Amino acid sequence: MIEGKKILITGATGQVARPVAEALAKNNEVWCLGRFADVDAERELSDLGVRTWRWDMAGLAEDGLDGLADDFTHVMHSAAHRGDGIDFDASVEINAVGAGRLMTHCRRAEAFLYVSSGAVYAGQSPEHLVREDDPLGGQMPWLPTYPVSKIATEGAVRAFAVTLDLPTTIARLNVAYGPHSHGGMPILLFRRLLAGEPIEVPPRGQNLCSPIHTDDVVWQVPLLWKAATVPVQVINWAGDDAVGIQDMLTYMAELAGIEPRFASSEVYRATHAFDNTRRRALIGRCEVGWREGLRRTLRAHFPDLVKEAADAVQQ
């Protein structure tokens, strides 16, 4: 872990960046920028010594950064305007301009990390392990504006990294999960199972992903900064295991002692499993396996529900 640095984090009320802010605040000066509609999250961060600053990326009339210190050594830009799924212009504009303004303000930093997404990749056969140089052009029928806004923002980040000479990493995150916030996609789907809803799965084969526990996210952030370059370094950011969504849900259902229900459908939440060769070379292997990670995450979110069954099932 790094120490004695001045770190700016956006999206720190979210599932991914919050544990990073909490961990780094122990040995660094950490500032978190956001709207903080979740006032409890802001207070809890402040209690840990984190400084907070109101910043709304969507406030396009001005950058909202006037008066904020500009001597940050490291930046993690994790905020994302997910949008309404309809207004493509607004999604692209808010996210791309927000990234550009932040990079301009923090141009003196040693490293800038932009948290992108596996959603940028074009569809592949379900078993394909996606590499950083695979085709872009992701489609998400349930939030069509999201992939294009991530691709557009990657473009802005590439441009500002070069024009500002700011060492930058674009980390394309896979499915993140853990104890914070809503817990991530596996927990969101598990909540649907608990409510008795069947989960849509592809008619053939499994829908694979490479889930990463937020404990791994936390220790890898300083190494992603270390990997930053001009032009940008692009890295697939994922867990080491390629796992079927159906397998994950079946495992969690077993831990909770419920029967999972699946519905074969052409319309399902498509994900990708990643080829992690570049990340392993630059950063190393992950520490949390998917079964252990899901067990711990399920316990954090449903302590009463899973305790006995989880003790019985273990691996």
Among 7, 9, 11, 130, binds ligand NDP (CB under 6 A): 11
With CB under 6 A as the contact rule, the residue among 5, 7, 8, 14 that binds ligand NDP is 14
**28 or 117, CB closer to ligand NDP?**
117
Task: Rank residues 120 and 228 by Cβ distance to ligand NDP and give the closer one.
Answer: 120
Phi, psi (rounded to 5 degrees) for 54: -75, 120
293 makes contact with ligand NDP (CB under 6 A): no
Min CB(53)–ligand NDP separation in Å: 10
Nearer to ligand NDP, 46 or 314 (CB): 46
Residue 178, token pair as written in the block: 């853990």
Residues 6 or more apart whose CB falls under 8 angstroms from that of 155 comprise: 96
Q: Which of 31, 29, 45, 79 is nearest to 59 (CA)?
A: 79
Which residues, at least 6 apart from 234, have a Cβ–Cβ distance to it below 8 Å?
132, 154, 169, 170, 172
Q: Which is nearer to ligand NDP, 13 or 297 (CB)?
A: 13
Q: Output the smallest distance, CB 205 to ligand NDP, in A.
A: 22
> Looking at 211-256, which runs of residues are DSSP E strands?
212-213, 233-237, 243-244
Residue 47 vs residues 3, 5, 26: alpha-carbon distances, Å: 19, 19, 12
Please pick, from the candidates 20, 75, 79, 221, the single residue that binds ligand NDP as defined by CB under 6 A: 79
Q: What tokens were used for 118?
A: 């596996």
The answer to whether 204 touches 266, Cβ cutoff 8 Å, is: no
Contact between 170 and ligand NDP by CB under 6 A: the answer reads no
The answer to the question of residue 81 lying near ligand NDP (CB under 6 A) is yes
Tell me the residue number closest to ligand NDP, measured at CB.
14
- Binding residues for ligand NDP, rule: CB under 6 A, are 10-17, 34-37, 55-58, 78-81, 115, 117, 173, 175-176, 181, 184-185
